[in-house]
Each structure stands twice: as structure tokens, then as C-alpha cells.
């Protein structure tokens, strides 16, 4: 007999840490949300509210060292992929739609590529974009940026925008994420995907990324959509990378609805 999960909030243990997890339960299509690089799960609240709890079951969690999750000795991309597996196993989630913003989008496509047949689809929110601008000078620029920003970390953490890590740890996570988006690394991942992949792209620049560079990176996704018919750009939102989940949450929610085969939001234009 199949049981319907009840709403649940708690922790899931993985490696040397414990992840803070919320599962709304219910019989709807499970949606798993993967956060931005240092962000916590609070950024998804507008998307979740727009989707509602009748047709969807929402699973959110804070990755290690972020939000309410505990610190770890390992903040690598591979460790974050293990976090996804641990949460899915602990909550007995099957055939989810995996939605990722920024760093979370890179996690989503890499996890889906390694786990064919386990997800219904993925939604990438202004992330998992092939680009190759990172060189030694750019790496040092990233390290200097986070050293300069480090006095703001306590405030940023309260806003769900920084992790409980050092400036050096913040920087190395960012550098690794950019290295994983090099076309030689990311293109084979995107080309291997056989599930529906939808992109919701932002517009313009953001902190650490000038508008011209960011728009070029977004345009560089086009070859992947031509090579792989499973990948499509669902929307180009007017907000920038940092504000897209706040101002254009409905574009994200409607893309989730498309993958789930659910009706669009009645507020959609």
C-alpha cells in the first residue's frame, strides 16, 4: 500500500554534517529545490506559494554550511551532489522535478546526467551555462572580491546570501563552480541529458558579473539547445540573476507546471 508523506521538517545526516530539510508532503508531484551557491532555501518561497500544495510536494533543504545546516570539512561540488542523494533517499522521493538556481542549476544537470531515469525533468534558473572566461587573473579577482566582502557576511547570512564559511572557502566554491561550467566540462553533461531540461534566464548583470559578459554567457547556451532537443529556453525574465526568484518567480513556477503537465498560473499574462 502506498502511503502519502506528511509535512515534515527536520535534519538529514550525510558525511560529517546534518542538513536542514523541509518536505511539505502530500500526493502531488515532488519538486526538489537546489539553492544558489551560498543561499538558503528561503529564496524559493514565492515559487512554492505560486505553485501551491495541491498539485505539488515541495522539498527544500540547506546545503552544508548554508542556512540552518551544519558546517562540514567538505564544501566541494561532489559533496553537494551527495547532499541531494541523501535528502532524496531520506524522504523517499521518486521522479521529482529538480529545480536549481545558479549553482543549484549546475547541481541539477550534473545530478540528472548521473542518474538517468530518476527525475521527471529539470528547471535551470540562470545557471548551468557554458562559459570559459576563467583564467588565473579571474581566479585572483574572485578571491579578492570575497576578501573585500567578508565584513558583510554576518548580515548576508541573515538574508540567506552567505554561508558560515571563510572568505577563502566562499571564493574556492565560486572558482570550482566556474571551472565546472567550462564548455569542455559542461557540454558533455548537457549533451547526455535525455529528460526535459528547461532554462529560465535572467537579464543583465549582477554583483561580480557585468551585463555584457552575463548576456554573452546566456547566449552561449544556444548551441546546447541545438545539439540536444531535450533542452529548451522556457523564458527570458527581465530581472537580473540576483532578483529573478523574487521578481520573476511566476516564470519559474510556470516552467515547473509545464514539466508536470499542470495548468499555468491563472495570473500569468
Say how far apart CA 178 and CA 133 lie, in whole Å.
9
* In the chain, % of residues over pLDDT 70: 97
Q: Does residue 265 contact residue 253 with C-beta atoms inside 8 Å?
A: yes
Q: Which string of DSSP letters, residue by residue, matches 146-200?
A: HHHHGGGHHHHHHTT-S-SS-HHHHHHHHHHHHHTTSHHHHHHHHHH--S-EEEE
Integer angstrom CA distances of residue 99 from 1, 44, 74, 81, 246 = 29, 10, 23, 14, 15
pLDDT digits (tens, 9 = 90+) for 114-172: 999 999 999 999 999 999 888 999 999 999 999 999 999 999 999 999 999 999 999 99
Q: How confident is the model at residue 198 (pLDDT cuts 50, 70, 90)?
A: very high
Say how far apart CA 52 and CA 46 lie, in whole Å.
10
C-alpha cell at 106: 549546475
Q: What is the overall mean pLDDT for the chain?
A: 95
pLDDT of residue 239: 96
More confident residue, 46 or 266: 46
pLDDT of residue 266: 67
Candidates 73, 70, 67, 72; CA nearest to 33 is: 67
Q: How confident is the model at residue 208 (pLDDT cuts 50, 70, 90)?
A: low
Neighbours of 152 (CB within 10 A): 12
pLDDT at 1 exceeding the cut of 70: no
Q: Cell numbers 533543504 correspond to what residue?
A: 61
pLDDT of residue 269: 46
Q: Does residue 190 contact residue 109 with C-beta atoms inside 8 Å?
A: yes
Q: Does residue 91 contact residue 84 with C-beta atoms inside 8 Å?
A: no
pLDDT of residue 2: 59
Q: What are the backbone angles phi and psi of residue 14, rounded to the nearest 5°? A: -150, 135
pLDDT digits (tens, 9 = 90+) for 169-194: 999 999 999 999 999 999 999 999 99
Say how far apart CA 58 and CA 93 lie, in whole Å.
10
Say how far apart CA 207 and CA 221 lie, in whole Å.
21
Q: Which string of DSSP letters, residue by residue, matches 107-151?
A: HHHHHHHHSTTS-SEEEEES-S-------HHHHHHHHHHHHHHGG
Q: How confident is the model at residue 219 (pLDDT cuts 50, 70, 90)?
A: very high
C-alpha cell at 30: 515532488
| Residue range 256-266: mean pLDDT, rounded | 87
Which residue segments constitute the domains of the chain, with CATH numbers given? 8-130+184-260 (3.40.50.1820), 132-180 (no CATH)
pLDDT digits (tens, 9 = 90+) for 34-76: 999 999 999 999 999 999 999 999 999 999 999 999 999 999 9
Amino acid at each position: 500500500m502506498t502511503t502519502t508523506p506528511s509535512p515534515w521538517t527536520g535534519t538529514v545526516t550525510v558525511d560529517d554534517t546534518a542538513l536542514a530539510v523541509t518536505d511539505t508532503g502530500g500526493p502531488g508531484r515532488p519538486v526538489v529545490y537546489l539553492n544558489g551557491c551560498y543561499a538558503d532555501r528561503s529564496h524559493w518561497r514565492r515559487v512554492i506559494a505560486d505553485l501551491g500544495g495541491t498539485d505539488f510536494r515541495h522539498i527544500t533543504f540547506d546545503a552544508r554550511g548554508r542556512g540552518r545546516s551544519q558546517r562540514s570539512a567538505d564544501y566541494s561540488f561532489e559533496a553537494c551532489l551527495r547532499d541531494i542523494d541523501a535528502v532524496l533517499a531520506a524522504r523517499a522521493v521518486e521522479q521529482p522535478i529538480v529545480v536549481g538556481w545558479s549553482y543549484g542549476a549546475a547541481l541539477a544537470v550534473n545530478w540528472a546526467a548521473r542518474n538517468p531515469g530518476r527525475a521527471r525533468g529539470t528547471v535551470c534558473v540562470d545557471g548551468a551555462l557554458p562559459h570559459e572566461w576563467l583564467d588565473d587573473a579571474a581566479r585572483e579577482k574572485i578571491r579578492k572580491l570575497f576578501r573585500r566582502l567578508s565584513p558583510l557576511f554576518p548580515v548576508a547570512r541573515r538574508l540567506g546570501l552567505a554561508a558560515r564559511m571563510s572568505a577563502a572557502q566562499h571564493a574556492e566554491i565560486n572558482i570550482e563552480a566556474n571551472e565546472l561550467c567550462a564548455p569542455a566540462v559542461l557540454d558533455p553533461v548537457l549533451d547526455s541529458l535525455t529528460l526535459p531540461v528547461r532554462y529560465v534566464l535572467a537579464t543583465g548583470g549582477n554583483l561580480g558579473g557585468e551585463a555584457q559578459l552575463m548576456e554573452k554567457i546566456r547566449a552561449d547556451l544556444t548551441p546546447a539547445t541545438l545539439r540536444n532537443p531535450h533542452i529548451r529556453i522556457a523564458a527570458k525574465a527581465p530581472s537580473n540573476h540576483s532578483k529573478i526568484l523574487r521578481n520573476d518567480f511566476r516564470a519559474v513556477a510556470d516552467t515547473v507546471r509545464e514539466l508536470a503537465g499542470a495548468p499555468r498560473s491563472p495570473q500569468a499574462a
